[in-house]
């Protein structure tokens, strides 16, 4: 399998606290990679380093054979790195369609007119097309998370980075979201998914990594990683059932 994204020896400190510590992660084309770890383990910082929101103290990020370590978040987005955020923050005074249009036009530098079909397709793929003309402020939590996903899809991403997109949802809503992500995976989009809801990850991902104190502590088959003593000790404990 071809490696589409490779981060090598990433480090990041804030003050005297090292939140990412010599972390190396690879993602293959068409692969879904899950990421687990306790709160404060450095998972979101890892995504911030991959997308350029935060610059590393050391290490490199290579996307599709190109070193993008010095590129801005906008430039990385234009190349095909799409992302959702843990807490959805839509433009509440705009419609659902307008929110996605912002992602399509600025994320890939397209005109509004050239983006309409992409936006409609993204809303269809996330089951939000019936809500296209509703104000974003009227959406439920699940719909807001789907809107985050639709905005990321509107840039036609090669890689989709998901940051706890299932957090706060009911069990029924989680299963609905799992089906959507499975469909996106079947379309060939490579995915890195950070999530605390372990069964959601196990339903989708090919490989799992566990992080603690910014370091990689386990990697491999999802069920093997989840049941490893290292992961149980630092993260799961009694949550594993």
Q: Both tokens of residue 4?
A: 């589409």
**Which structural domains are found in the chain, ordered by start?**
1-80+158-241 (3.40.50.300), 89-156 (no CATH)
Determine the Cα–Cα distance for residues 120 and 122; give it in Å rounded to an integer. Answer: 5
* Residue 111 neighbours by CB under 8 Å, 6+ apart: 105
* Residue 108 neighbours by CB under 8 Å, 6+ apart: 77, 78, 154, 155, 156
Structure-derived torsion over alpha carbons of residues 227, 229, 235, 236, reported in degrees to the nearest 10: 40
Name the one residue in this structure whose structure tokens are 């912002």. Answer: 102
| pLDDT given for residue 238 in this prediction | 38
pTM for the full predicted model: 0.93
From first to last of its 241 residues, the chain has per-residue pLDDT tens of 799 999 999 999 999 899 999 999 999 999 999 999 999 999 999 999 999 999 999 999 999 999 999 999 999 999 999 999 999 999 999 999 999 999 899 877 778 888 999 999 999 999 999 999 999 999 999 999 999 999 999 999 999 999 999 999 999 999 999 999 999 999 999 999 999 999 999 999 999 999 999 999 999 999 999 999 988 887 654 344 3
| pLDDT given for residue 236 in this prediction | 52
* Of 161, 192, 199, 6, residue with least CA distance to 82: 161
| pLDDT given for residue 197 in this prediction | 93
């Amino acid at each position: 399998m071809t490696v589409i994204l490779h981060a090598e020896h990433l480090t990041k400190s804030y003050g005297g606290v090292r939140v990412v510590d010599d972390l190396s992660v690879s993602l293959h084309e068409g692969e879904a990679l899950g990421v687990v770890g306790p709160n404060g383990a450095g998972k979101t910082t890892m995504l911030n380093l991959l997308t350029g929101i935060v610059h590393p103290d050391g290490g490199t990020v290579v996307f599709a054979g190109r070193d993008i370590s010095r590129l801005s978040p906008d430039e990385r987005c234009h190349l095909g790195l799409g992302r959702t955020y843990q807490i959805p923050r839509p433009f509440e005074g705009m419609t659902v369609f307008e929110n996605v249009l912002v992602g399509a036009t600025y994320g890939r530098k397209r005109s509004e007119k050239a983006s309409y079909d992409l936006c409609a397709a993204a809303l269809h793929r996330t089951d939000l097309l019936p809500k296209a003309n509703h104000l974003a402020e009227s959406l439920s939590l699940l719909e807001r998370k789907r809107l985050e996903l639709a905005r990321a899809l509107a840039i036609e991403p090669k890689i989709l980075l998901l940051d706890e997109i299932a957090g706060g949802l009911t069990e029924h809503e989680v299963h609905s979201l799992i089906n959507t992500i499975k469909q996106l995976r079947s379309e060939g989009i490579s995915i890195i998914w950070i999530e605390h809801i372990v069964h959601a990850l196990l339903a989708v991902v090919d490989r799992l990594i566990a992080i603690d104190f910014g370091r990689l502590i386990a990697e491999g088959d999802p069920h093997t990683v989840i049941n490893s003593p290292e992961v149980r000790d630092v993260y799961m404990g009694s949550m594993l059932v």
